[in-house]
């Protein structure tokens, strides 16, 4: 039931659309504050030497272990303690990704009211598509065309029907109202059978990814914009943290992301028909995501008329982000394709909102599964209940979104580097598993050991830097979260050192 050998191009399509989302847009869009050079170099080198190795390696490790998930492989290869650590880090990543994406989407919807109708309308389009396919058995190609046309028609009418929420409801500003609505939606979506909403939404998103990426690159080629941002920004705004180590955790997806290991070993490895296809699927999946990150860098550095305008957008660390991608990207798309500025802004906003929204649907569902699994492991029947585990998952994400940035819901992007750190820790654990397997096979371990060491060093350093920032700012919520992740990082580090020492000793003792 689980293993369905599939053509490698189709698997690549699945893999790429599963791993690429809003994160390779948001990370680079924040990181260009240090100039386009460092972000560009980290995305290129990270994709080639880190993400490609990690993604292809995770599929390979899984395929060599009956295509089981990387968490289960960790338990087999390293031990139950590492597996528990893996589960905790996954839970933290999901918690943060849901909170950060809710904050990012709410900001986009407040700043661009023209995107509200198409972004929420896309959910209705997905629901109708699901019914057309499963109930009325309509040809999928025809349904795909209808779905894409409907989505783009909604984008076309979006600027004529802008929607703004009231300034305050029960003391909550518009940002916070959107965050609450988004989590309400994510909770309901995660409870529906996958064929009703998640599957058609993922599909439309995948098509939108190819169309959007093609459109952005075509517009760049046609309009040939000049990069106005400096290659190295020596005049960063006050309060911007040091490039080293923060760059390496601000851009996680697009350079290396632990989340990919979950996809690689969760669904991709079960479709591989031949081990020779692993490199094509894993490596090109990472390259595809790198292309999305590069598009985000181009949009946020070449999408503005002057350096002054760019500096205005990047007035403080975290200020640019996804809104800069939308503004800059829309300028390029409008110049390259002749679309009106309003339509281009709506298009880019909807693209970012759909990517982030689908990740939230899946994220809340996965959190619920983890809760239920903990309920089974620790014999807590209350956690096994679907409504209760969903409520706890959503409640934790809401607490994080508001706890990080206050009830106005505008400061939640402070979580981004912490999310990047946790994501890199997850990647570190996957690289550790791969390194141990390689050592056991008696092959050269440097291709995985160097990225592993680099990631663990940079993430630990980034956590320490951020710890001081949160302490100085008196942000005790983020300070405590930072300590929690730091403990996880130290445990991963100790596990890595202990396991590798043991296996290297064993390898040396074997004649």
Partner 1 sequence: MASDGKHGGAGRWRQWFRRASYCAEELYFGRYRSTIARARRDEEDLFMLLVYSEMMGVPNPASYYTMELQPLLLERFHDWHRRMGMERSPLDHFRCC
Q: Which residues bind partner 1 (CB under 8 A)?
A: 1-2, 4, 6-7, 10-11, 13-14, 17-18, 133, 139-141, 144, 193-195, 198-200, 202-203, 206, 267, 270-271
Longest dimension (CA), the chain: 75
Closest distance between partner 1 and the C-beta of residue 1, in Å? 5
Min separation Cβ 216 and partner 1, Å: 21
Q: How far is the CB of 141 from partner 1 (least distance, A)?
A: 5
Residues 189-217 as b or e (16 or more Cβ within 10 Å = b): bbeeebebbbbbbbbbbbbbbeebbebbb
Q: Is residue 67 classed as helix, strand or coil in its secondary structure? A: coil
CB of 382 to partner 1, least distance (A): 22
DSSP 483: H
DSSP states of 19-39 as a string? H-SSHHHHHHHHHGGG-HHHH
Asked if residue 245 has a cis previous peptide bond (ω within 30° of 0), the answer is yes
> Which pair of structure tokens corresponds to residue 119?
């972004």
Tell the smallest beta-carbon distance from residue 357 to partner 1 (Å). 17
User: Which C-beta is closer to partner 1: that of 67 or that of 458?
Assistant: 67
Do 185 and 141 form a contact (C-beta atoms < 8 A)? no
Contact 57, 64 (CB under 8 A): no
Coil, helix or strand for 172? strand
Q: Which is nearer to partner 1, 232 or 369 (CB)?
A: 369
* CB half-sphere exposure, 90, CA atoms < 13 A: 27
Report the nearest approach of partner 1 to the CB of residue 213 (Å).
16
**Is the CB of 43 or the CB of 63 nearer to partner 1?**
63
Q: DSSP secondary structure string, 325-359?
A: HHHHHHHHHHHHH---HHHHHHHHHHHHHHHHHHH
**Could you give the CA distance from residue 188 to residue 84 in angstroms, rounded to a whole number?**
29
Residue with Cβ nearer partner 1 (271 or 301) = 271
**Which residue number, 46 or 206, has a Cβ lying nearer to partner 1?**
206
Measured from the CB atom, the residue of 54 and 201 that comes closer to partner 1 is 201
| 94 versus 209: smaller Cβ distance to partner 1 | 209
Residue with tokens 């490790």: 61
* Helical (H) or strand (E) element with 109: helix 80-111
| Residue 310 Cβ vs partner 1, minimum distance, rounded to whole Å | 38
3-state secondary structure of 169: strand
Nearer to partner 1, 6 or 111 (CB): 6
Structure tokens at 406: 């206050």
Q: How far apart are CA 368 and CA 390, in angstroms?
A: 5
- 75 φ/ψ angles, rounded to the nearest 5 degrees: -60, -40
Give the nearer residue to partner 1 in terms of CB position, either 327 or 362: 362
- Three-state secondary structure readout of 279-317: HHHHHHHHHHHHHHHHHHHHHHHHCCCCHHHHHHHCCCC
Residue 271: CB minimum distance to partner 1, A: 7
Residues 6+ away with beta carbon under 8 Å from 9: none
Minimum Å distance from CB 143 to partner 1? 8
* Whole-number Å distance between alpha carbons of 469 and 242: 11
CB of residue 47 to partner 1, shortest distance in Å: 23
Nearer to partner 1, 111 or 144 (CB): 144
Task: Write down the least CB distance from residue 190 to partner 1, Å.
Answer: 13
In angstroms, what is the minimal distance from the CB of 281 to partner 1? 13
Cβ neighbors of 350 (< 8 A, separation 6 or more) are 115, 118, 119, 122, 151, 155, 158
What's the token pair of residue 63? Answer: 């395929």
Residue number with CB closer to partner 1 (200 or 420): 200
The nearer residue to partner 1, 209 or 481, going by C-beta atoms, is: 209
Q: Which C-beta is closer to partner 1: that of 159 or that of 266?
A: 266
Question: Both tokens of residue 52?
Answer: 């490609």
CA-wise closest residue to 74 among 438, 443, 434: 434
Minimum distance of partner 1 from residue 5's CB (angstroms): 11
């Amino acid at each position: 039931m689980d293993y369905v050998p599939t053509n490698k191009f189709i698997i690549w399509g699945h893999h790429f659309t599963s791993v690429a989302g809003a994160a390779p847009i948001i990370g680079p869009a924040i990181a260009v504050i240090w100039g386009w050079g460092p972000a560009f170099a980290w995305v290129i080198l990270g994709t080639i030497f880190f993400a490609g190795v990690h993604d292809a390696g995770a599929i390979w490790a899984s395929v060599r272990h009956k295509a089981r998930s990387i968490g289960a492989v960790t338990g087999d290869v390293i031990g139950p303690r590492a597996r528990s650590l893996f589960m905790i880090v996954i839970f933290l990543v999901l918690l943060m990704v849901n909170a950060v994406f809710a904050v990012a989407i709410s900001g986009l919807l407040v700043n661009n009211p023209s995107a509200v109708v198409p972004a929420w309308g896309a959910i209705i389009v997905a629901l109708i598509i699901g019914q057309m396919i499963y109930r009325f058995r309509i040809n999928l190609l025809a349904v795909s065309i209808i779905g894409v046309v409907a989505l783009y028609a909604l984008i076309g009418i979006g600027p004529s029907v802008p929607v703004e929420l009231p300034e305050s409801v029960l003391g909550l500003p518009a940002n916070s109202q959107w965050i609450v609505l988004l989590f309400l939606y994510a909770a309901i979506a995660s409870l529906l059978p996958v064929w009703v909403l998640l599957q058609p939404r993922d599909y439309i998103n995948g098509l939108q990814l190819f169309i959007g990426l093609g459109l952005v690159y075509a517009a760049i080629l046609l309009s040939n914009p000049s990069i106005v941002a400096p290659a190295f920004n020596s005049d960063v705004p006050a309060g911007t943290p040091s490039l080293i180590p923060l760059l390496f955790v601000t851009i996680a997806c697009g350079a290396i992301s632990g989340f990919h290991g979950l996809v690689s070993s969760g669904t991709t490895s079960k479709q591989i028909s031949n081990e020779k296809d692993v490199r094509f699927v894993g490596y090109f999946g990472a390259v595809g995501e790198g292309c999305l990150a590069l598009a985000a860098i181009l949009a946020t550095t070449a999408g503005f008329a002057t350096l002054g305008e760019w500096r205005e957008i990047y007035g403080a660390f975290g200020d640019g982000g996804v809104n800069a991608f939308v503004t800059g990207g829309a300028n390029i798309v409008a110049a390259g394709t002749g679309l009106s500025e309003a339509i281009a802004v709506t298009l880019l906003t909807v693209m970012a909102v759909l990517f982030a929204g689908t990740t939230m649907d899946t994220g809340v569902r996965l959190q619920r599964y983890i809760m239920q699994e903990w309920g089974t492991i620790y014999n807590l029947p209350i956690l096994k209940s679907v409504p209760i585990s969903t409520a706890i998952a959503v409640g934790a994400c809401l607490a994080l979104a508001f706890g990080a940035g206050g009830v106005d819901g505008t400061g939640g992007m402070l979580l981004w580097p912490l999310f990047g750190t946790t994501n890199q820790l997850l990647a570190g654990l996957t690289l550790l598993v791969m390194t141990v397997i390689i050592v056991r096979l008696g092959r050269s371990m440097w291709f995985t050991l160097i990225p592993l060491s680099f990631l663990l060093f940079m993430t630990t350093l980034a956590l320490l830097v951020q710890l001081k920032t949160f302490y100085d700012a008196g942000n005790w919520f983020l300070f405590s979260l930072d300590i929690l992740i730091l403990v996880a990082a130290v445990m991963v580090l100790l596990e890595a050192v202990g396991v590798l020492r043991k296996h290297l000793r064993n390898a040396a003792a074997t004649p």
